[in-house]
Amino acid sequence: MSTNGFIRVSAACPVTNVADIDFNLKNIKECIDTCVEQGSKLVVFPELCITSYTCADLFEQKLLLDNSLEAVHDLCNFSKDKDILIAIGAPLIYNYCLYNCAYIIFDGKILGIVPKSYIPNYTEFYEKRWFTEGIGIVNKKVNLFFQENIPFGTNLIFTSGIFRFGFEVCEDLWVTIPPSSCLSLMGANIIGNLSASNEIVSKADYRKDLVKSQSARCISSYIYASSGVFESSTDLVFSGDLLIGENGVLLNNNDRFQRENEVISSIVDVTRLNSQRLKNVSFRDSVKLIPYEALEISFKFNSIDYKTFDRYLDKHPFVPSDETQREIRCKEIFNIQTAALAKRITHTGLKKAIVGISGGLDSTLALLVIVKTFDMLDIPRENIITVTMPGFGTTDRTYNNAVNLCKNLSAELREINIVPACLQHFKDINHPVEKHDVTYENVQARERTQILMDISNKEGGLLIGTGDLSELALGWATYNGDHMSMYGVNCSIPKTLVRYLVKYVAQKEVSEEVSDILMDILDTPVSPELLPKDEEGNIAQKTEDIVGPYELHDFFLYHFVRQSETPEKILFLAKNAFRDDYDEETIKKWLDTFIRRFFTQQFKRSAIPDGPKVGTVSLSPRGDWRMPSDASYRLWQ
């Protein structure tokens, strides 16, 4: 069964009594049953949860240690036919030393035992009174009364297909070079941490940051489970903190201080992690620093069914869903755009900028960037030459918005009607004016670009391009027409984000009069206006009716370029993300369109002008995306 690289994992915190092994084991079993019912394939328990973490000098009692092993044996028998990997915390005596360990159990047997590498012995911790550090232990074997030759060491990786699990214990995460860093470089893409971390003010936030940052640094999933409130409160209080991270993002966490058995789960995306590792050259270069080889322990899940697909999928991955974060993002991007343009203007020594204004979103954003840049450089706004070039499809609404916007921003406005020049050109190339084909459209786009280029030459100014990332991905631009400029400020901003940038400026950066114009522009259908308007004078040519919804294409673009997903997986993700918006047939139709256009239009992207990268996806042929123009898309359809 294919799950597109998804697997469900869990972190659990059972109710425990200090040194009450039978009681603890009962609750551990209940948590495991919950995980199995949910479809989890891994459950990570807290550190030493078989005995409880705060046994102190009781760890020197033979009765406690013997019964702990009996409980592990019991748990092995309990795990038979449950098809879940269990990481449980318990002590182990090896060569007359006591180790704080993670026992990794699957289908009736211990696959391996991982000792805690670093033993804290400062402030409130004094574990070295009982335990020995496991750092440096590799490729050892342990014999227990019920199983022999069990792998023992810090270099163990447990593998089932593409799912590769590594484990560390509590303090290991807090050190300068965590064992999980080495495990990830040796191939582990899912890391479990069995922990007992007490609560003091602000420590929970720090733990959360550690889990997120380590999952990002290791390009892995990271499952963290800490001891709960029923540990001894002699000097410390524990909260049962449960966290699941993936490559810098927190997928799930619990409300701490619960007084019942608790399990959280998330679906993690292992193929995405693996693809990100392939792209990250620095990750690959770090492999040479691994101090020892991994010992791979293979096992096989009977099924990788994760039951209900409840992983959060962002329909608009380029646009933060949180309003506060979205405003911060828009401000940052706007600053990047203006800083980039300012550098190009100061480098060239030019004091003028030229931009074509249509009354649409992209040209509006470009103009707003120019205005802020000129204000920042103390260049008069009159040096911004805006050119509106009405044609066969220009509507009164877009024309008036373009004119009013330029006037209210105090830019110089020039109006050049392109209809006479286009009619002459149709005559020159013997093209019937009533034939509204691609030639009819491209003649207008190239005429506008010629005008802008020539004004730039005449005025000694920089022609600013307005095309956005989504248009570049689809090749929705006329080659050597609106495809070309002297500097493109929108080139790495997807269409779904352009809208929010303009809205941000309308709300935060401009006067009320300008804001009203911008809000009307935001409400105008996206169109190149290259076909004649309808009988009522409204826009007849709507881009999204032709190439498909931009929110779908931006979703496809993100997952194809940023995550290197297959079309099969992108379709699966889109069906789940847009289940309330589009049916499967519609999504598949536009996905096919995206793949076909993305491949066939590469020649346009290979010849685009400079422009600033603002996000994780860029299609610059000099940087992020280098693709042959003649590549076949057959494999992807």
Strand partners of residue 388 = 415
Q: Do 492 and 610 meet the contact criterion of CB atoms below 8 Å apart?
A: no
Two tokens, residue 408: 């209210």
State the CB neighbour count (10 A cutoff) for residue 411. Answer: 23
Check whether 393 has a pLDDT greater than 90: no
Tens of pLDDT, residue by residue over 113-124, are: 999 999 999 988
Residue 122 marked in a binding site: yes
Q: At which residue do the structure tokens 């899912």 appear?
A: 190
Q: Residue 548 — very low, low, confident or very high, per pLDDT cuts 50/70/90?
A: very high
Two tokens, residue 602: 């590469």
d(CA 289, CA 534): 66
Residue 266 marked in a binding site: no
Phi, psi of 126 (to 5 degrees): -145, 50
Tens of pLDDT, residue by residue over 484-501, are: 999 999 999 999 999 999
**Which residue type does 565 have?**
E
CA atoms within 13 A on the CB side of 195: 27
Identify the pLDDT of residue 395: 85
State the CB neighbour count (10 A cutoff) for residue 278. Answer: 12
Per the prediction, the chain carries an average pLDDT of 95
Residue 2 in 3-state DSSP? coil
Domain map (residue ranges) of the chain: 8-298, 323-544
Phi, psi of 599 (to 5 degrees): -75, -45
d(CA 110, CA 85): 10
Output the 3-class SS for 169-226.
EHHHHHCCCCHHHHHHHCCCCEEEEEECCECCCCHHHHHHHHHHHHHHHCCCEEEEEE
Nearest to 215, CA basis, from 189, 252, 237, 187: 189
Q: Report CA dihedral (123, 125, 127, 128) to the nearest 10 degrees.
A: 0
Residue 477 marked in a binding site: yes
CA atoms within 13 A on the CB side of 359: 25
Tens of pLDDT, residue by residue over 502-524, are: 999 999 988 999 999 999 999 88
Give 549's contacts (C-beta < 8 A, 6+ positions apart).
Answer: 582, 590
Q: At which residue do the structure tokens 């070309």 appear?
A: 484
Tens of pLDDT, residue by residue over 281-290, are: 999 899 888 8
Tens of pLDDT, residue by residue over 70-128, are: 999 999 999 999 999 999 999 999 999 999 999 999 999 999 999 999 999 998 899 99
Q: 103 exposed, middle or buried (CB, 10 Å; 0-12, 13-18, 19+)?
A: buried
**Which residue type does 510 have?**
V
Residue 604 marked in a binding site: yes
d(CA 314, CA 311): 10
Give 610's contacts (C-beta < 8 A, 6+ positions apart).
Answer: 344, 487, 488
Range 540-561 average pLDDT: 88
Residue 356 marked in a binding site: yes
What is the CATH architecture of 8-298? 4-Layer Sandwich (3.60)
Two tokens, residue 81: 């036919």
Residue 619 marked in a binding site: no
Residue 250 in 3-state DSSP? strand
Q: From edge to edge, which strands make up the β-sheet containing 412-415?
A: 412-415, 384-388, 353-356, 462-465, 487-488
One CATH from 3.40.50.620, 3.90.1510.10, 2.60.120.10, 3.40.50.150 for 323-544: 3.40.50.620
User: Is-same-fold flag (8-298; 323-544)?
Assistant: no
Residue 359 marked in a binding site: yes
Residue 479 marked in a binding site: yes
Please, what sign has the CA dihedral across residues 595, 599, 600, 602?
Answer: positive
Active site residues: 47, 116, 170
Q: Residue 541 — very low, low, confident or very high, per pLDDT cuts 50/70/90?
A: low
Q: Do 92 and 142 meet the contact criterion of CB atoms below 8 Å apart?
A: yes
What region does 349 belong to: left with phi over 0, alpha with psi -120 to 50, or beta? left
Identify the pLDDT of residue 461: 97
Tens of pLDDT, residue by residue over 321-346, are: 999 999 999 999 999 999 999 999 99
Check whether 540 has a pLDDT greater than 70: no
Strands 163-169 and 190-195: parallel
Check whether 539 has a pLDDT greater than 70: no
Nearest to 187, CA basis, from 219, 211, 209, 210: 219
Range 42-64 average pLDDT: 97
Check whether 1 has a pLDDT greater than 60: no
Q: How far is CA 105 from CA 8, 23, 77, 160, 299, in A?
A: 17, 20, 10, 14, 11
Output the 3-class SS for 79-107.
CCCCCCEEEEEEEEEECCEEEEEEEEEEC
Strand partners of residue 221 = 190, 246
Residue 119 marked in a binding site: no
Nearest to 363, CA basis, from 258, 498, 237, 250: 498
Output the 3-class SS for 362-422.
HHHHHHHHHHHHHHHCCCCHHHEEEEECCCCCCCHHHHHHHHHHHHHCCCEEEECCCHHHH
**Which residue type does 386 have?**
T
Identify which of 329-333, 392-396, 623-627 has the greatest average pLDDT: 329-333
d(CA 566, CA 586): 18
Q: Do 392 and 419 meet the contact criterion of CB atoms below 8 Å apart?
A: yes
Range 222-231 average pLDDT: 97
Identify the pLDDT of residue 221: 98
Q: Give percent above pLDDT 70 in the chain.
A: 97
Check whether 538 has a pLDDT greater than 70: no
Q: Do 192 and 205 meet the contact criterion of CB atoms below 8 Å apart?
A: no
